[in-house]
Amino acid sequence: MDNLTVSEWMKENGLTDDEVDFIETILTSTAMQESGIINYKEINRKINTYFPEKRFYLTGKINFEKFLNILKENEIFIDLKELLNRYHSQGTCKEHCEKLLERV
C-alpha cells in the first residue's frame, strides 16, 4: 500500500468529499455499535440527518455484505475489501475492520 491516507486514496479513486464522509461515518458509527456505545436506530438517525440524500437503513449490526450493498445502493464504487484493509493498516477502527473482513 502507498503512503496515502484512506481518505486521500478514496479521493484518488474518484470519490467525492461527501462520499468519503458518508463511508467514514458508517465505519465509525458501526464501530461504536460493536462497542455498545450506540445502537442501530441511533446510527440510522445520525446518518439520515447528516446525509439526507443517501439511502441508508440498518436493522441490526453491519457486516461486509450489508456495507457493500449500502455502497452499491448509493452508487459508490470502491473496493470495500481494500478500503477496510487500508483503514486497518492505518489503525482506524482496527478491530471493527477485522470483524468485517473475517466475514468476507
Give me the DSSP letters along the chain.
--S--HHHHHHHTT--HHHHHHHHHHHHHHHHHHTTSS-HHHHHHHHHHH-TTS----SS---HHHHHHHHHHTT----HHHHHHHHHHTTTTHHHHHHHHHT-
Q: Tell me what the mean pLDDT of segment 79-104 comes to.
A: 95
pLDDT in tens, 41-58: 999 999 999 999 999 999
Global confidence as pTM: 0.94
